[in-house]
Structure 1
Amino acid sequence: MKVEPVSLCDPDMPLISNFHFSVNSASDIVEAYRKRRLAEELDIIAQHGGVNTIVEKLKSNRQTGLLTSDDQSDRIAIFGINKPQKDIKLTYFQLCWNALKDNTLRILIVSGIVSLVIGAVLDEHPEIGWIEGFAIIFAVFVVVNVSAVNDFQKQNKFYELKKQNRGIKSVNILRDGLWKAVHPKTLLVGDIVKLENGIIIPADGILIEASSIEIVEAALTGENENIKKLSYKEAEAFRDEYYKSNPDYDVKEAKHHDIPSPIVLSGTNLAEGVGIMVVIAVGRNSAEGRIRELAEQEEEETPLMKKLNKLTETIAKGGVICSAITMLALFIRFGIKFKDESWNQKEDPTLIVKYFITGITVLVVAIPEGLPLAVTISLAYSVKKMQKENNLVRKMQACETMGGADMICSDKTGTLTQNKMTVNEFWAGSTYTIANKDNTVHRISNPSHLYLLKESIFTNTSAFIDPVKGQQGSKSEIALLLFMMELGHSDYLEMRGNYFERFYKIFPFSSKRKRSSTVVALEDGRKRVHLKGAVEIVIKSCINFMDSEGQLKSMNSDLLNTLNTVIGNMTCKALRVLAIAYKDLKTEVDYEEQDENGFPNIENSGFTLLGLAGIRDPIRNEVPEAVKKCQKAGITVRMVTGDNKATAQAIAKECFIIRTEESTVMEGKEFSELTGGTVCSQCRTKICPCPRNKAEKKKKGGNIRKDVVANFDVFKSFIKNLAVLARSAPDDKYTLVTGLRDMGHVVAVTGDGTNDAPALRKADIGFAMGIAGTDMAKEAAGIILLDDNFGSIVRAVVWGRNVYDNIRCFLQFQLTVNVVAVISAMTGALTIQQSPLTSVQLLWVNMIMDSMASLALATDPPTDKHLERKPYKKSEFIITKIMWKHILGQAILQIGLMFSMMFTGENFLPEFSRSDTVLKNGDYVRSGRLYDYKGNKDYYDYWYEPKYGPSRHFTYIFNIFVILQLFNEINSRKLRDEVNIFEGIQRNWLFILIWIITFLIQAIVIEFTSFAFSVSKYGLDIYQWLVCIAFGLTSLVWRVLIVFLPSKAFPETGNQQIEANSSKILSLRSHALVQRNTYRIG
């Protein structure tokens, strides 16, 4: 029976240029193959006149290939080139320029230059007037380079990873009538390519010639079995014969590979055989390229970054208001003064510049510009630690996102399983479980039975297991060889060598016959036939059974019932059952004689069954426990696989993915029909012209496409209980991830194949297998599992939650600093026309204190306690009530101390004999305020006098402010109302080291920098340092009192569900810092 398929291409379609074959023509053929039921791609090829005609339409030649003398520019323009878009590697200077896109840094540079020029030219004391401007410029220079170095290291790490990927083999193509080895990226549509065992198919093509070709399409489809391929002519003949021999062929029962295809797809692996193909699609137009294009979507902000950006915007609004009020008040005071006094050419320009710098300083302090860089630093540290635990993080934000993951959609093959076939059970009268499943050491006691089994497997297989080249051949045959090795027999090459001259006839395996056989000549001249294949086929040919004791039994009804029971038990365990049998020929037979089905007649009767082998791709040993840990941590694990329903269900039960009777298993076809797949949210179609990223939007215009599930309400109705999605296509996995994310879940996806790339990219976190994963899967993923161990995901969860906590700790610390600094700077500017902390001092605090504090707070190692709570939700507030309690509580203490020191410090801050007696105020410091409350000069003339320089009073203020932050840094290690803030600090030696280093650097600044940091040229003596430390310690005591305050009265902040529109406030700060935080490595 031959069913006429619906045509997927129009032979009369308008032709492009002078080629009579288009990109769409190739796409139709490939798509027909991928979705085939009745080998529809053969009909489409026939509509084009067959493969030879397609070669002619592509202006190629079967004997000569493409000619180098021909101009190929039209071919390249129409069909493209065979290489992905080149990664852009930024130079160090480009990264510096990206950092300088921060508008506030630009304003500071301009202000610094103006301050430097005015100070050096117009200032009353030019010999020191230039220092503040220069210090500002230098501080900006350091900030820019710290950022650039960080980004440069991340970029180089990714390129180092790419170098570790396997090398690309050359391919042989026919050019000018000669075979030439070339790099795959030089292939063009129309090239004639020779396919050899072991290569990765470099482009989509049609087989012109094929000899025993078997392809593994796991990289694209997830299916791990070898798929037989035929040339176009052979495939057509096979199909015609197949329909004749199966007149009642049921389309609904059709399997994808019942009829071998001549189509080979880019990215797949040639497991066996050799052949010649014509290239019909390359690059982005190939099957692999289209998946890559789908995977290249616009990066989305993580839940944490959405919250931080919204929080930053809120703080920024307050900062702009504070900055505007400060500058307005200062200029009003200046106007009042100017009304009463004449213009002072030396003082007034400097004063105006200082007012601008003061206003900018308030803005700098208000907006936590150190937060994105600090978050990046904390993530970078975690990334390095995670790599030691076999989690290579490619996208920094994947770390923190994993802390909120509540769904994992896992591929089966290569992820939950080992991606290799093994004999799990063997039956020879008794069932033996192989390996260590039930601690049974398998031994077949009878030498005759063992020898026959060994001879049958070794001579009736063609696979190899080489310690250097690895495993080659059919995975099922490799499984049988490994089974014999389990029994202590690895001499298969020796036996094949002994039988080399005695191989009489070989009937290779075919999907139609579902069996293979070999005729060998024995030493006494007799012939023996070894048969293996699908159990339901081979048993029909058996008349006897030899058990493991060597006893021969007749194949009666009792034995058949026993066999059916054994087969049923194996099938329920997702085992594929192979039967192994043999027979001795007593007389000569016609080996070419065939039965009514066209099969060798010699295979049909007279055999003795030697045993049944239950083969499967075993699950990884660590998977069940890892899945249990995920479930305990509030994470739902789902399996998404291309395998059949029964196999998937059995594997899922073994992995504990299916735990209850409510858990359901659904096939991809049903899932697709129910959900309608993914469509554009605007056009409501699967294919639409909407741009997929900002680059396309710039070219095409319109809104960026957002994929949604077509029947979202239906999706929500059944998704809760869906545990396994079997027989799924890549589109189904993508739809599943899209729907779960739209429901508010944070979704992690694992995968190893090229077909997983779109879902890996779409997910909040994509995990690719580092060993078995394809390059495209690795590029699409956020985290690469270096050991292909599903159990490593549990460690990623722990680290993710730890990172989230650490960022919260830093945020708690950062906001306290900002609140205190903003209020102090603004109040000082409004009352005494100066900030208690200068611009350079604040840049020091932002650059060094924040960066070092972020690293210190990021180094608290995770514990298993992180798995005892549920994941963070997308809607969860980033700043909790308890955090606000401690932020505001510490801020009140510090602001009180800052105000008292700023306005009355000369009444209680001690001064000792080391200072010049002229500046002493009895036993206390002299006031360091440049102006008094009325605007009259106070310390102004002393500040510019090289003999005295900046005041000891304001040096005290700066030093106490920093030391308060150092002790509050210890407080910030805890996010809840823990009384013992030192708990676990001994496990974090890096925190202690950074704390000490920060303190020492601050001491150097106080004692040696003088005018550069606007501190006293005499520094502070030991007694004054003890006073500063005593003030700092009040932060620890104060926290104990804060703990006992009720938390309910405090707010929560940072809910990402509030949409953050494009903010003009944030544009002042630019998006450069945010981009650095969400920077993708590579």
Structure 2
Amino acid sequence: MGKYESTYHESLLLNINIARRRWRFAFAAIYSIRAMLSLAVTKRNGHYNLLHFQNLEEDDSYVEQIVCTKDDQKKLIEMVKNKDKEVYRELGDVATIAACLRTNPENGIEDNSDVVNERRRLFGSNTYHKRPPKSFFYFVVEAFKDTTILILLVCAALALGFGIKEHGVKEGWYEGGSIFVAVALVVVVSAISNFRQEVQFEKLSKISNNIKVEVLREGRRIQVSIFNIVVGDVVVLKLGDQIPADGLFLTGHSLQVDESSMTGESDHVELNRTENPFLLSGTKVVDGHGQMLVTSVGMDTAWGEMMSSISRDSEEQTPLQVRLNKLTTSIGKVGLSVALLVLVVMLARYFTGNTKDDFGNREYNGRKTDIDDVLNAVIRIVAAAVTIVVVAIPEGLPLAVTLTLAYSMKRMMADQAMVRKLSACETMGSATVICTDKTGTLTLNQMKVTKFWLGQEFIEEENSTNTIAEAVHELINQGVGLNTTGSVYRPSPESKTEISGNPTEKAILSWAVTEFGMDMEKLKKSYAILHVETFNSEKKRSGVVVRKLTDNTIHQHWKGAAEMILSMCSSYFERNGTTYPLDIETRRKLENIIQGMAASSLRCIAFAHRQISKDEEENGIPNASNTKKDDYTLMGIVGIKDPCRPGVKKAVETCKSAGVSIKMITGDNIFTAKAIATECGILDFDHNTASKGEVIEGSEFRNYSNEERLRRVDQIKVMARSTPFDKLLMVQCLKQKGHVVAVTGDGTNDAPALKEADIGLSMGIEGTEVAKESSDIVILDDNFNTVATVLRWGRCVYNNIQKFIQFQLTVNVAALTINFIAAVSAGEVPLTAVQLLWVNLIMDTLGALALATERPNDELMHKPPVGRTEPLITNIMWRNLLAQALYQIAILLIFQFQGSNIFNISEAVNDTLIFNTFVLCQIFNEFNSRKLEKLNVFEGILKNHLFLGIVGVTVILQVVMVEFLKKFANTVNLNGWQWGLCIAIAAISWPIGWIVKFLPVSDKPFLNYFKWF
């Protein structure tokens, strides 16, 4: 062991010299002991030393360097992460490990930036490998992946080339350039919307992640950011704190930790230095206080690994994206097919000599025709075919959907729902199943006393405690206020009372303060506590012996599980202060009361009291643990529960009436789960629900075969004692069955299910950062009512998108048919590419925004969910859009072939009338699209100021197009009667839309050919 001895002596001398230089002679021995301990720790792998330290000197400065092998670091990290007690015993204890980490358990590490930075360099920082924020360029690239955009780019290139060839650079760029501008507008708006959402969430994450924790450094308690915690730090833990890193328990009192966020176990874990010293990051202190030694941070913790693993983006498409891709693909196929047909027909007409020029001569005369004339004619024909494709593709659809989702996202924020992904707005509208947790979502996550029995009497009326005898009043205040680990603090009479402690203690203290007017400070001054017996899970009770200072009487109080306390009592108090013996019949009644409250998911706590007699006092004041079964008097029994949130039952009923199934998945026991589910309306009030397979435990579900799970999953309404794997398995089964699944969760253990679900909803208040990172929407108030609101908004978004698609496709069907018939019959198209782009992009985008401003209504929640397989375009939509399209086709074809003769106008004026009438028809049809089924399309129109404003702007822009952009838009000026004619023809769209809604629509597939839309 030669080299290790040498290292020991060097380290020993250096530590002594350092201590002397810094006038810390008293610490020389401590540093020496640490150096010895670094060699005394177990021998393995052929050498000594778990963590070996060396101190180097540079001039008069002091630099601490921590030197250890990677295997040593890994062993310590894995020991805590896996809670390996054998390795812990092998290393000695936490004091040994603290010494090896050069940490003074009482004073912590040095508050020196060099020391802290060196530890951070060697052991890592308390951060995880988070994906970098997506840049604006990333969203631009994503926007270009849209099929519609790619087709438009090809059309733009062809139109630009043919236009310049035929008309020259000065005028030939109009059509191709307009398409490029349209594509650029769609891409930029879409990228900006998504980029803003990314930036907004990043800001929120930075604020919510930067938690302040209290650490000991050089004996002082200071607050530092969670990101500045380093290995070796001593962290001060108190009730409600989140554990900032992995570590070991140093010291404390009644420290209990909720590890459900990491393990899924709902039971609280009590910490001690011998049997369970392991603390995991991401968990939460729920009782007591203490200090911990940090042994691993950041990516070396389970929390860091989890956060890093869930930061990857899911490539799975939402149901709406799947439907829109099918729609655009189908439209593209139709457009290309029609364009190809037009190209073949027009080329055949030209080369067979069936087309004539402006002078009435045949354009093609075989070999006599100039080659340049043939090339120009072919280019013109190909340009017409490209225009057909532009007509078919709804250029405004991607932009319209983005605008609709962005507008709805802002409105949802006002309703306490922060949307992280725009697509999540509509996905919730397709949801068929919501898998929700219990605590904090369905319930308030606040324990509360809801029942109180004094003897055999149920104290039900509000303020009825005022009629209870003063002696009983005082004893109850003693039993609650002095036998507790919680505290009550009120800075001033005007300020609000602050109550701390574990949830049960807080509930009882709050009840005593509210109902009995308990004054904690007055109690402490009036009584001296002689002995305390703390609560533990084996005894299920806590006791206290107190002396009343005014008369020197001694009282003994017990508080705990009702059945345990009842077994200690031989009498009971009644309201008037009289005590009665507990005979067999009375005891049976009280046992039935306790069982009844337990069946209602109430936690039953009882209070017992006895006064120590003078004779007993002379023989020595007894400890609280000295109990005799027949010595105590039962003071009362309280029932505590975590109540359902106000309005949650109505929200559940709303979801169920909308055809959405609610499934509660919780780690609680099956009785509590059933009671809460029944109270919330998830289960019907039926005691035989378990036999129907509606209530099961997680172990039962995971032990089913795959076929059995798929067969039973729809029937299950409550799953108790579930693990994170059970929740994930439930989501996977539901998706296999074709459901669109929404999941709510707040813990790290919920992250896999949140990520797997079609729509993940995390809790903004109690939710962990892991859960928020895995979710699509953050519920800012942790309330199931908001989940129902998101469902309502999702349906509204989906419905608004359907309204726009009906509106958009009416334009495309009419324009495609008109241009096709005109091109085949006359060899030219009446609507140019620029005009069609104006209709499809600018006007329809404004139309989409107008339709997107429609707010949710109750009617949406009385329809069944659309799910994953329902067509995007319903039978009702086909009926509405075809009726309007056929009318527009008929009118415009009359204009095309007979307009000049009927109205005695020039071809240029006639073409302008066709364009103007077509646009005005869309403006009037925009009102029809507000209601897909209702007859009254003007309902609520005056309240929607944005809709009216957008329609007004659209009319103004159309006037500008016709009257001022004549050369660009290929239009001429129209006089008053011509404008009146266009308006009158377009207004007929309203009565047609009203009449057509009387036509019945079958529930069976309608227009089967289009079903795949």
TM over 0.5: yes
* 1:458 paired residue number: 481
Contact 1:393 1:783 in 2 (8 A): yes
* 2:33 paired residue number: none
* 1:645 paired residue number: 670
Larger displacement relative to structure 2 (1001-1010 or 989-998)? 989-998
Q: Tell me the distance in 2 between the aligned counterparts of 1:1002 and 1:470.
A: 64
* 1:551 paired residue number: 578
Is 1:925 the counterpart of 2:905? The answer is yes
Say which SS state the counterpart of residue 538 (structure 2) adopts: coil
Is 1:519 the counterpart of 2:545? The answer is yes
Is 1:314 the counterpart of 2:314? The answer is no
Q: Tell me the distance in 2 between the aligned counterparts of 1:213 and 1:516.
A: 16
Is the alpha carbon distance of 1:925 and 1:154 closer, same or farther for their aligned partners in structure 2, counting shifts above 3 Å? farther
Q: CA deviation at 1:605?
A: 6.8
The partner residue of 2:1007 within 1051, 1075, 1078 is 1051
Is the alpha carbon distance of 1:23 and 1:306 closer, same or farther for their aligned partners in structure 2, counting shifts above 3 Å? farther
Q: Deviations over 1:17-74 (max 9, x none)?
A: 932357698567545x6xxxxxxx4345446665567779989997986998799999
Contact 2:416 2:779 in 1 (8 A): yes
Say which SS state the counterpart of residue 199 (structure 1) adopts: coil
Q: Deviations over 1:535-583 (max 9, x none)?
A: 2333333343222211122343333223212211221211111121223
Say which SS state the counterpart of residue 71 (structure 2) adopts: coil
Is the alpha carbon distance of 1:173 and 1:603 closer, same or farther for their aligned partners in structure 2, counting shifts above 3 Å? farther
* 2:188 paired residue number: 145
Please tell me the residue identity of whatever aligns with 2:255: I
Q: Tell me the distance in 1 between the aligned counterparts of 2:46 and 2:339.
A: 66
* 2:990 paired residue number: 1036
Is the alpha carbon distance of 1:179 and 1:333 closer, same or farther for their aligned partners in structure 2, counting shifts above 3 Å? farther
* 1:503 paired residue number: 529
Is the alpha carbon distance of 1:24 and 1:1026 closer, same or farther for their aligned partners in structure 2, counting shifts above 3 Å? farther
Say which SS state the counterpart of residue 988 (structure 2) adopts: helix
Say which SS state the counterpart of residue 624 (structure 1) adopts: helix
Q: CA deviation at 1:182?
A: 4.3
Percent of aligned pairs with the same residue?
34
Is 1:275 the counterpart of 2:291? The answer is yes
Contact 2:482 2:524 in 1 (8 A): yes
* 1:813 paired residue number: 807
* 1:20 paired residue number: 71
The partner residue of 2:244 within 195, 202, 215 is 202
Q: Deviations over 1:388-434 (max 9, x none)?
A: 33333333333323333332222111111110111111111244466
Say which SS state the counterpart of residue 403 (structure 1) adopts: helix
* 1:626 paired residue number: 651
* 1:901 paired residue number: 895
Is the alpha carbon distance of 1:771 and 1:465 closer, same or farther for their aligned partners in structure 2, counting shifts above 3 Å? farther
Is 1:880 the counterpart of 2:924? The answer is no
Is the alpha carbon distance of 1:263 and 1:64 closer, same or farther for their aligned partners in structure 2, counting shifts above 3 Å? closer
Contact 2:935 2:997 in 1 (8 A): yes
Is 1:714 the counterpart of 2:695? The answer is no
Say which SS state the counterpart of residue 510 (structure 1) adopts: coil
Please tell me the residue identity of whatever aligns with 1:479: A
The partner residue of 1:536 within 552, 559, 563 is 563
Bigger RCO of structures 1 and 2 (CA < 8 A, at least 6 apart): 1
Q: CA deviation at 1:273?
A: 0.9
Q: CA deviation at 1:448?
A: 0.8
Is the alpha carbon distance of 1:84 and 1:114 closer, same or farther for their aligned partners in structure 2, counting shifts above 3 Å? farther
Contact 1:517 1:603 in 2 (8 A): no
Is the alpha carbon distance of 1:956 and 1:87 closer, same or farther for their aligned partners in structure 2, counting shifts above 3 Å? farther
Contact 1:750 1:766 in 2 (8 A): yes
Q: Tell me the distance in 2 between the aligned counterparts of 1:623 and 1:857.
A: 31
Is 1:575 the counterpart of 2:602? The answer is yes
Contact 2:608 2:633 in 1 (8 A): yes
* 1:684 paired residue number: none
Please tell me the residue identity of whatever aligns with 2:888: Q
Is the alpha carbon distance of 1:1053 and 1:503 closer, same or farther for their aligned partners in structure 2, counting shifts above 3 Å? farther
Contact 1:311 1:1053 in 2 (8 A): no
Q: Tell me the distance in 2 between the aligned counterparts of 1:13 and 1:964.
A: 89
* 1:916 paired residue number: none
Q: Tell me the distance in 1 between the aligned counterparts of 2:951 and 2:932.
A: 19
Is the alpha carbon distance of 1:509 and 1:844 closer, same or farther for their aligned partners in structure 2, counting shifts above 3 Å? same
Q: Tell me the distance in 2 between the aligned counterparts of 1:24 and 1:960.
A: 79
* 1:869 paired residue number: 863
* 1:377 paired residue number: 403
* 1:82 paired residue number: 126
Q: Tell me the distance in 2 between the aligned counterparts of 1:731 and 1:525.
A: 59
Q: Tell me the distance in 2 between the aligned counterparts of 1:1053 and 1:777.
A: 44
Q: Tell me the distance in 2 between the aligned counterparts of 1:58 and 1:369.
A: 65
The partner residue of 2:468 within 445, 451, 459 is 445
Is the alpha carbon distance of 1:630 and 1:270 closer, same or farther for their aligned partners in structure 2, counting shifts above 3 Å? closer
Say which SS state the counterpart of residue 778 (structure 2) adopts: strand
Larger displacement relative to structure 2 (365-374 or 822-831)? 822-831
* 2:949 paired residue number: 993
Say which SS state the counterpart of residue 638 (structure 1) adopts: strand
Unaligned residue ranges in structure 2 (runs of 5+): 1-43, 52-67, 352-362, 490-494
Say which SS state the counterpart of residue 413 (structure 1) adopts: coil
Say which SS state the counterpart of residue 504 (structure 1) adopts: strand
Q: Tell me the distance in 2 between the aligned counterparts of 1:863 and 1:787.
A: 22
Please tell me the residue identity of whatever aligns with 2:449: V
Is 1:961 the counterpart of 2:961? The answer is no
* 1:216 paired residue number: 258
Q: CA deviation at 1:453?
A: 0.8
* 2:850 paired residue number: 856
Q: Tell me the distance in 1 between the aligned counterparts of 2:173 and 2:331.
A: 33
Is the alpha carbon distance of 1:513 and 1:770 closer, same or farther for their aligned partners in structure 2, counting shifts above 3 Å? same
Say which SS state the counterpart of residue 440 (structure 2) adopts: helix
Say which SS state the counterpart of residue 517 (structure 1) adopts: strand
Please tell me the residue identity of whatever aligns with 2:271: K
Is the alpha carbon distance of 1:431 and 1:748 closer, same or farther for their aligned partners in structure 2, counting shifts above 3 Å? farther
The partner residue of 1:1003 within 959, 977, 982 is 959
Q: Deviations over 1:998-1057 (max 9, x none)?
A: 1222112211112222222xx21211111111221233344456456564594147768x
Unaligned residue ranges in structure 1 (runs of 5+): 1-10, 34-40, 236-259, 677-709, 911-923, 928-950, 1059-1082
Please tell me the residue identity of whatever aligns with 1:421: M
Q: CA deviation at 1:907?
A: 1.7
Aligned length: 923
Q: CA deviation at 1:341?
A: 4.3
Say which SS state the counterpart of residue 534 (structure 2) adopts: strand
Contact 1:877 1:1054 in 2 (8 A): no
Q: Tell me the distance in 2 between the aligned counterparts of 1:431 and 1:87.
A: 61
Taking the TM superposition and a 5 Å limit, the aligned residue runs for 1:382-401 are 382-401=408-427
Q: CA deviation at 1:483?
A: 0.8
Q: Tell me the distance in 2 between the aligned counterparts of 1:440 and 1:349.
A: 97
The partner residue of 2:927 within 970, 973, 990 is 970
Q: CA deviation at 1:855?
A: 2.1
Say which SS state the counterpart of residue 601 (structure 1) adopts: coil
The partner residue of 1:789 within 783, 802, 805 is 783
Contact 1:200 1:267 in 2 (8 A): yes
* 2:359 paired residue number: none
* 2:504 paired residue number: 476
Is 1:410 the counterpart of 2:366? The answer is no
Is 1:362 the counterpart of 2:388? The answer is yes
Is the alpha carbon distance of 1:538 and 1:93 closer, same or farther for their aligned partners in structure 2, counting shifts above 3 Å? same
* 1:1062 paired residue number: none
Q: CA deviation at 1:515?
A: 1.9
Is the alpha carbon distance of 1:455 and 1:193 closer, same or farther for their aligned partners in structure 2, counting shifts above 3 Å? closer
Q: Which has the higher helix share?
A: 2
Q: Tell me the distance in 2 between the aligned counterparts of 1:726 and 1:112.
A: 63
Please tell me the residue identity of whatever aligns with 2:905: V
Taking the TM superposition and a 5 Å limit, the aligned residue runs for 1:175-324 are 182-187=224-229, 193-217=235-259, 219-220=261-262, 227-231=269-273, 233=274, 235=275, 262-269=278-285, 271-280=287-296, 282-283=298-299, 285-287=301-303, 289-290=305-306, 293=309, 298-324=314-340
Contact 1:877 1:1052 in 2 (8 A): no
Please tell me the residue identity of whatever aligns with 2:451: E
Contact 2:486 2:502 in 1 (8 A): yes
TM-score w.r.t. the length of structure 2 is 0.81
Is the alpha carbon distance of 1:903 and 1:575 closer, same or farther for their aligned partners in structure 2, counting shifts above 3 Å? same
Say which SS state the counterpart of residue 509 (structure 1) adopts: coil
